[in-house]
Chains A and B, each alone.
Chain A
Amino acid sequence: MSVHAVHKICRQVLRDHDFRGRMQSDPAAAIADYDLTPEERHALLAGDVVTLHHMGVNDFMMGYLARFGSCGLSVPTFNEKIRSVPHCSGKT
């Protein structure tokens, strides 16, 4: 269930401006108390949204990390990473 913890972190970035600031300045400390697997923690701190995507984390929620500069992400870096995920375009 800890993908749920990643979702909670993303929501906290939106809702709690103090937490948002800590996710920008010291994300490792900010997420220290969250119930994450080592793989999730590592991916999150590396801003590895591709790995998180494959773990089942919701892309829309991860957008808040990009929008609010968390874990070293920005909208351009997020864009480049998430677009590298293979997908079929449009109609199936």
Chain B
Amino acid sequence: MAKIVAAYGLPHTPFFPSRVVQEGPQSPTGLLFAKACNSLVAAKPDVILIFDTDHYNTFFFDNFPILAIGIDEKFSGPIDEPRGGMPVYSVPSMPKLAEYLHNHTVRAGYDVASLREFGCDHSVMVPLYFVNPGMRVPVIPFFISGHVPPLPSARRCFAFGWEIRKALEAYPENLRIVIIGTGSFSLEVFGPRIDPGKTDGVPDPEWVHELCRYLEAGDTDSLISAATETRMHAAGNVGGELLNWIAMLAFTDNRKPDFLIKQMENGHAYAGWRWS
């Protein structure tokens, strides 16, 4: 039977790969991702599922699903020239399992779009760059619309994660599965609330602290109740990326994280749960 063995919440800041190349693996960001990478590699996954908000690259305003899954032998990325640069990869995937998850979630009432022959932008590729060395482990991406209103509700995203979990636990193959949710808590990118001279800003540091208090306590229900669409947008124009963490939390059973470290200058955090 498939077994879920660990879950991670990670940022995807586009210039982090180039920053860590410049500043070295002992830099603060290098060390934070190394912590997540060491834990994930020790979990020995056969496949990684990642919840992500695409930044208008895999999808665009002409075709904009609220929920989607990538189903193919492989996908490529990043397809958006992240600032500072990073290598372009072909990432193996697991189409049979992705197809199974698509069938299960749609039949359970989730209108999930499916895509083939796709690429992913930095929001998928940056975390994978740091925690999936050599892109050796196959990855299945799930996409949650987290930037443009109307957003799916926090509770809906948690239930979506839960439905995927039920399907995985019933999957007959003997697989070890790791879950990643990626995104910021408070971040404005190129909007009115960016900092002077910069391309982004953290409009609401208190929201980051509040979310981390819930995560630290394993209090997923309070986190979900607090994460209204208005509240997430008040924290920045990409504040809805929290929804990817919320889908990931459906796998953690309110455990306290093994590690949870904020990076306040970017309005996000790194967290890991490993139980098997």
Question: Chain B residues near A62 (CB, 8 Å)?
Answer: 190
Q: Which of A4, A7, A60, A84 lies in contact with B55, CB distance below 8 A?
A: A60
Contact B62–A59 (Cβ < 8 Å): no
Residue of B nearest to A85 (CB): B192
Q: A90-B234, A91-B207 are contacts. A60–B194 as well, Cβ < 8 Å?
A: no
Binary flags per residue of B192-226, CB closer than 8 Å to A gives 1, else 0? 11101111000110110000000000000000000
B83 to chain A, nearest CB (A): 7
Contact A82–B192 (Cβ < 8 Å): yes
Bound CA–CA A51/B241 (angstroms): 27
Bound CA–CA A78/B195 (angstroms): 12
Judged by a CB distance under 8 angstroms, whether B230 is at the interface is yes
Bound CA–CA A91/B193 (angstroms): 12
Question: Chain A residues near B80 (CB, 8 Å)?
Answer: 14
Q: Which of B191, B207, B230 lies in contact with A90, CB distance below 8 A?
A: B207
Q: Which of B61, B62, B196 lies in contact with A79, CB distance below 8 A?
A: B196
Q: A14-B81, A75-B199 are contacts. A60–B190 as well, Cβ < 8 Å?
A: yes
Residue of B nearest to A17 (CB): B81
Query: What's the count of A-B pairs with C-beta under 8 Å?
Result: 76
Q: Which of B62, B189, B199, B234 lies in contact with A92, CB distance below 8 A?
A: B234
Question: Chain A residues near B186 (CB, 8 Å)?
Answer: 90
Task: Identify whether the interface residues of A are mostly helix, strand, loop, or mixed.
Answer: helix
Binary flags per residue of B65-81, CB closer than 8 Å to A gives 1, else 0? 00000000000000011
Task: Count A interface residues, CB 8 Å.
Answer: 28
Within 8 A of A (CB), among B167-203: 186, 189-194, 196-199, 203
Binary flags per residue of A54-92, CB closer than 8 Å to B gives 1, else 0? 000011111100110000000110110011111111111
Contact B61–A92 (Cβ < 8 Å): no
Q: Which of A11, A67, A83, A90 lies in contact with B194, CB distance below 8 A?
A: A83
Judged by a CB distance under 8 angstroms, whether A42 is at the interface is no
Q: A60-B56, A90-B235, A91-B234 are contacts. A79–B194 as well, Cβ < 8 Å?
A: yes
Within 8 A of B (CB), among A4-44: 4, 7, 11, 14
Contact A76–B207 (Cβ < 8 Å): no
Question: Chain A residues near B237 (CB, 8 Å)?
Answer: 59-60
Question: Chain B residues near A87 (CB, 8 Å)?
Answer: 191-193
Judged by a CB distance under 8 angstroms, whether B147 is at the interface is yes
A57 to chain B, nearest CB (A): 11
Bound CA–CA A62/B207 (angstroms): 26
Q: Which of A63, A84, A89 lies in contact with B203, CB distance below 8 A?
A: A89
Question: Chain B residues near A78 (CB, 8 Å)?
Answer: 190
Judged by a CB distance under 8 angstroms, whether B60 is at the interface is yes
Bound CA–CA A79/B199 (angstroms): 7
Bound CA–CA A7/B64 (angstroms): 14
6 examples of A-B residue contacts, CB within 8 angstroms: A59-B189, A78-B190, A79-B194, A82-B194, A89-B203, A90-B204
